[in-house]
């Protein structure tokens, strides 16, 4: 049984962390499969949104200690940034359907997503400091950018556990729902994007959003990039189609190809 499964339907790819017998505890194989799936989905114009979730009742319980201690050996055998590319480096929107507990790397992977829908009654923690190591997967960058330095210090330096209600209050969760409703809500968002959002517009907007944080752009620098993006998109087939579909009250038929027409 593969540690990650991939299904694609109606423009949405569902990537499922698939070790339910171990509460989807993270393995190097799982990381390799996730990296490959992210690349494949981002290169496929048929995939307009990605949902990342976990099989069974957990999202990901963290690193798998059942196959030996991954922190026991000194040196460079362990990488603290196991996702390459990270979800925020893709052009395709990524929704994390955090359907249950997400601990350690289980949570830090979810922090890479553009949108996080999280289970209200699940437990979350960046617990690595309680295991003698530190938060991984770029968590010292994602947490302060998403939730602020005070929240990042609280969670990274204590490794404490919190629930979905607090995750929403801290700005980590886009929204929280009962666990049984998380995946359906994430799929509804993904299908809405796949149907109603121009793929090139989503890709350009996503890159601008994350690059603003990565590069520390000023407001005027962002304005300049927004203007350049508008000049690139205005007058194109999808810009014309978006207005026509709105006026004719019908679903849009997008034709731009991100894989062929993307300008880095």
Strand order in the sheet with 175-177: 4-9, 12-17, 49-54, 94-98, 115-119, 175-177
Question: Ramachandran region of residue 102, left (φ > 0), alpha (ψ -120 to 50) or beta?
Answer: beta
Q: Output the six-digit token pair for 198.
A: 């121009």
pLDDT in tens, the chain (264 residues): 799 999 999 999 999 999 999 999 999 899 999 999 999 999 999 999 999 999 999 999 998 877 655 555 555 555 566 789 999 999 999 999 999 999 999 999 999 999 999 999 999 999 999 999 999 999 999 999 999 999 999 999 999 999 999 999 999 999 999 999 999 999 999 999 999 999 999 999 999 999 999 999 999 999 999 999 999 999 999 999 999 999 999 999 999 999 999 986
- The DSSP string of 32-97 is HHHHHHHHHHHT-TT--EEEEEESTT-SB-SB-TBTB-TTSS-SSSS-S---SS-GGGSSS-EEEE
pLDDT (0 to 100) of residue 15: 98
pLDDT tens readout for residues 213-240: 999 999 999 999 999 999 999 999 999 9
Distance CA 188, CA 243 (A): 23
Residues 6+ apart with CB under 8 A from 121: 163, 164, 178, 179
pLDDT tens readout for residues 115-141: 999 999 999 999 999 999 999 999 999
Please write down the HEC assignment for all residues of 76-94: CCCCCCCCCCCHHHCCCCE
What the chain holds in terms of domains, given with CATH numbers, is: 4-193 (3.90.226.10), 198-261 (1.10.12.10)
Strand partners, 96: 52, 116
pTM: 0.94
Distance CA 46, CA 13 (A): 9
């Amino acid at each position: 049984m593969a540690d990650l499964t991939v299904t694609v339907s109606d423009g949405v790819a569902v990537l499922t962390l698939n070790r339910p017998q171990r509460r989807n505890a993270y393995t190097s194989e799982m990381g390799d499969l996730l990296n490959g799936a992210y690349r494949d989905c981002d290169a496929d114009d048929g995939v307009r949104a990605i949902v990342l979730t976990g099989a069974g009742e957990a999202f990901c319980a963290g690193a798998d200690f059942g196959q030996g201690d991954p922190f026991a050996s000194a040196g460079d055998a362990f990488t603290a940034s196991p996702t390459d590319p990270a979800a925020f480096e893709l052009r395709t929107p990524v929704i994390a359907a955090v359907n249950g507990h997400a601990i350690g790397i289980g949570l830090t992977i979810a922090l890479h997503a553009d949108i996080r829908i999280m289970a209200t009654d699940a437990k979350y923690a960046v617990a690595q400091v309680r295991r003698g190591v530190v938060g991984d997967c770029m968590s010292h960058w994602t947490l302060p950018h998403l939730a602020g330095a005070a929240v990042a210090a609280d969670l990274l330096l204590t490794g404490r556990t919190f629930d979905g209600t607090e995750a929403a209050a801290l700005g980590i969760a886009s929204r929280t729902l009962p666990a049984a409703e998380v995946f359906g809500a994430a799929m509804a968002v993904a299908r809405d994007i796949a149907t109603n959002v121009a793929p090139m517009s989503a890709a350009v907007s996503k890159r601008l959003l994350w690059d603003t944080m990565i590069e520390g752009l000023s407001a005027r620098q962002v304005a300049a990039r927004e203007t350049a993006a508008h000049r690139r998109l205005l007058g194109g087939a999808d810009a014309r189609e978006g207005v026509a579909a709105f006026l004719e009250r019908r679903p849009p038929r997008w034709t731009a190809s991100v894989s062929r027409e993307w300008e880095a």
